[in-house]
Structure 1
Amino acid sequence: MSSQQNMSTNETIDHCKVPNQVTYKTLSWLVIGEFVLGLPLNLSVLYIFIFRFKFWKNKSIFLFNIVVADFLLVVCLPAKAYHYQNGNRRSPDKMVCKTMIFMLFLNRGASIAFLITLSIDRYFNVVQLGRRNIVKVLKKSPHVCIVIWLLLLPLTIPTMVKTFECCNSLGRKYETPFHDVTDTFREVVYFGQIIIPFIILVYCTVRIVNRLQRKTVGEKAKLRRAMCVVLSVFVVFSVCFLPSTVARAVLLTVRLKEWQDAEDMVVQVYDSFMVLSYIDCLLDPLVYCFCNSGFKDAYISTFCPTFLRNRLPDTDFGLGTTTITTTTTSGIREITLPILAK
């Protein structure tokens, strides 16, 4: 009898209705803005990588996979905005709800995996120079990217196994312990795929910055490029992933303590930070530019207007070009040589 009452209570309370219409109407317009900016940006990046830059010839297979992950995120944004506009935190349709969360988990996992791989590659190139760089070896095989995608799929299974209330049900009361196991596993995956890579990222960043402080003249440009790569990845993590992770931890704490009034407020904060996390599809192109100046040059030459290209500086602040000064009988001549980041 008690079990039936718990089931009835859970069914009558709809935790997926938005707690504040104004907040979610605003969030829906922010999501629409991210879609409007993100779709053409990612389509243009895909075009450059495939038709102009030819990523398979320039050892940029990992960058291309980040673009694919971002594109998967962008195509989900209209549905998310639609649900917010209609007063729902997710789709009332269970299959659509699961599919959306599956796509978001897959995008987040793929983006983090490939971004961290880039940071580790830069770390080995400048800090562990002379040792075997396994990442550089893996970059030569596109099959590795397929393996990474396949390894990410099992981590999304908990979102597809069983119906869960509002797709984030840890702390709710259910008639069987199966739900708790599934939800607990999903939360472990959620936090693990942020915290562990972030620790790795911080370590790589600190070591590269320390190496830069002990640089020699000949290593300056290379170390600066590596530092810009890991710092750009650090910015993406700090802006897109960390705030929503902290808010998620607070939300679970409040929910487990059954503070319903506080939960309604924390839910809005958490969903707001999740909307903020979607801008990684807008920030990732900065990482591409820092990682490989060849991509940046191809993008600018294709989409940047001529009058604006003429105003861009010839030097690349040590990121992609270098300036060599030579002396001739007629005076001093400057020669600018492009150096593709590897």
Structure 2
Amino acid sequence: MVEEATVVHSNQPFHCLAPQDLVAKILPPVLITELLVGLPGNVMALWIFTCRLKTWRANTLFLFNLVLADFLLLISLPFRIDNLFRGEHWVFGEAWCRSNLFMLAVNRSASIAFMTTVAFDRYFKVVHPHHRVNHMTSTQAGWVAGGIWAVVMSLRLPLLTTDLLVQHGNKSLCRSFSAYNVTPLAIKIHNTVFVGEFFLPLLLLLFCSARIACILRQRQLDKGQKVQRAIRVVGLIVAVFVLCFFPSIATGLSALFIKKVRPSDCESYNKAAQLFSLSIGFTYLNSALDPVIYCFSSSMFRNSLKSAINKLGLVEMRLSRRGSMTSDG
């Protein structure tokens, strides 16, 4: 959405283009930490979903696609880390620049979409317990998941149609968020999706949270353990979502505002652009935190995890009878 700036050249395609040296110093340790924390958790989750679960329900399938999106995003990060260690000099070629940024964007969007889907699943189970959505088969859920992937990938296709590798001095800058003097249509679509995939899911998540809390209080059921878990699941999803994605939206929109009202003030634009690039690190934190959501959202997943830990013989964990391989509660 933004790039760092030092000077404005009105005859150049980019607005205030320059390397972001501060970001290249600060962000790599953050990304490495997220990778080291998130990758083992997501690999373990993939193993449990593919090898340990005996029954797949709709909620389980949505959670599996969430962990798949997170896993694919995390394995794309090493290329960005290498890029930053080289002072933002991309050495893997133009085609892989597009592909890597496409992978990051698609899987970030898919993670948001499936996180929102899990929240909606909880919403229907609590607010509309007899709705036919709650009786969705795993096959039907598979079609829904496939539709989500198709929409997400189609919205991110502009990244594959645009040359994202920019030569600046002796460095090749590979960025999906660039401030253009005249913004191409493909980049306008990319930026619009980035903003829209925050505000629309946020409104849906807040709606789900408010309706669940309201209905349960009306029914005087907000004290039960199962009901409390449903509230905690949606609340946790909202908290993780805001923590991870709000900083990048706030700083990105601030930089665009500065570009709009003070186009020649590259010093102020620099600061906002650097904050935006640093805040991108928070969006990847989402993929490291999502395994916590799996544990809260599926009793089948929790029981499988406990069973695997019990087999190690280091500690004995009690399985839930209610959720033993048959429930998504």
TM-score normalised by structure 2 residue count: 0.83
Could you tell me which amino acid in structure 1 is paired with residue 157 of structure 2?
I
Counterpart in 2 of 1:329? none
**Do 1:138 and 1:144's aligned partners in 2 also have CA atoms closer than 8 Å?**
no
Task: Compute the displacement of 1:55 (Å).
Answer: 5.7
**Do 1:251 and 1:267's aligned partners in 2 also have CA atoms closer than 8 Å?**
yes
Alignment CA distance shift 1:69-1:89 (3 Å): farther
Alignment CA distance shift 1:253-1:12 (3 Å): closer
Counterpart in 2 of 1:45? 45
**Do 1:55 and 1:61's aligned partners in 2 also have CA atoms closer than 8 Å?**
no
Asked if 1:192 is matched to 2:196, the reply is yes
Q: State the distance in 2 between where 1:284 and 1:307 align.
A: 25
Counterpart in 1 of 2:4? none
Could you tell me which amino acid in structure 1 is paired with residue 70 of structure 2?
D
Task: Compute the displacement of 1:116 (Å).
Answer: 1.0
Counterpart in 2 of 1:340? 327
Q: State the distance in 2 between where 1:193 and 1:12 align.
A: 25
| CA deviation string 1:287-322 (max 9, x = no partner) | 111111221121133147644445xxx59xxxx667
Counterpart in 1 of 2:276? 270
Q: State the distance in 2 between where 1:247 and 1:120 align.
A: 29
Task: Compute the displacement of 1:338 (Å).
Answer: 9.6
Alignment CA distance shift 1:276-1:91 (3 Å): farther
Counterpart in 2 of 1:137? 136
Q: State the distance in 1 between where 2:15 and 2:326 align.
A: 63
Counterpart in 2 of 1:260? 266
Counterpart in 2 of 1:148? 148
Task: Compute the displacement of 1:107 (Å).
Answer: 0.9
Task: Compute the displacement of 1:144 (Å).
Answer: 2.3
| CA deviation string 1:38-57 (max 9, x = no partner) | 22221111111110114636
Task: Compute the displacement of 1:209 (Å).
Answer: 1.4
DSSP-derived class of the 2:87 partner: coil
Q: What does residue range 1-342 of structure 1 map to in structure 2 within 5 Å?
A: 6-7=10-11, 9-10=12-13, 14-15=17-18, 17-20=19-22, 23-54=23-54, 56=56, 59-88=59-88, 93-130=93-130, 132-134=131-133, 136-137=135-136, 139-141=138-140, 142-164=142-164, 166-170=175-179, 172-174=180-182, 179-216=183-220, 220-256=224-260, 257-258=262-263, 259-303=265-309, 306-309=313-316, 340-342=327-329
Could you tell me which amino acid in structure 2 is paired with residue 255 of structure 1?
K
**Do 2:94 and 2:163's aligned partners in 1 also have CA atoms closer than 8 Å?**
yes
**Do 1:49 and 1:55's aligned partners in 2 also have CA atoms closer than 8 Å?**
no
- Does 1 or 2 have the higher relative contact order (CA < 8 Å, sep 6+)? 2
Could you tell me which amino acid in structure 2 is paired with residue 269 of structure 1?
L
Alignment CA distance shift 1:48-1:12 (3 Å): closer
Alignment CA distance shift 1:206-1:101 (3 Å): same
Counterpart in 2 of 1:331? none
**Do 2:55 and 2:325's aligned partners in 1 also have CA atoms closer than 8 Å?**
no
Counterpart in 2 of 1:332? none
Q: State the distance in 2 between where 1:146 and 1:66 align.
A: 12
For the pair shown, the structure with the greater C-alpha radius of gyration is: 1
Alignment CA distance shift 1:195-1:13 (3 Å): closer
DSSP-derived class of the 1:156 partner: helix
DSSP-derived class of the 2:327 partner: coil
DSSP-derived class of the 1:340 partner: coil
Q: State the distance in 1 between where 2:54 and 2:133 align.
A: 23
